[in-house]
Amino acid sequence: MRNDETEIIDYVSEYQPDFERLNRAWIELYFSMEPIDVEVLSKPEEHIIDPGGAILLARVGKQIAGAVGLKKITENEFEFTKMAVDENFRRKGIAKQLTRSALSKAAVLGATRVILYTQTGLSAAVELYRKTGFREVPMETGVYKRSDIKMEIEL
Q: Which domain holds residue 121?
A: 2-154
Give the CATH number for residue 23. 3.40.630.30
Confidence band for 4, pLDDT divided at 50, 70 and 90? low
Question: Which segment of 2-11, 79-88, 102-111, 115-124 scores lowest on mean pLDDT?
Answer: 2-11
**CB 120 within 8 Å of CB 26:** no
How far is residue 24 from each of residues 14, 39, 114, 153, measured CA to CA in Å?
17, 12, 23, 26
Number of domains in the chain: 1
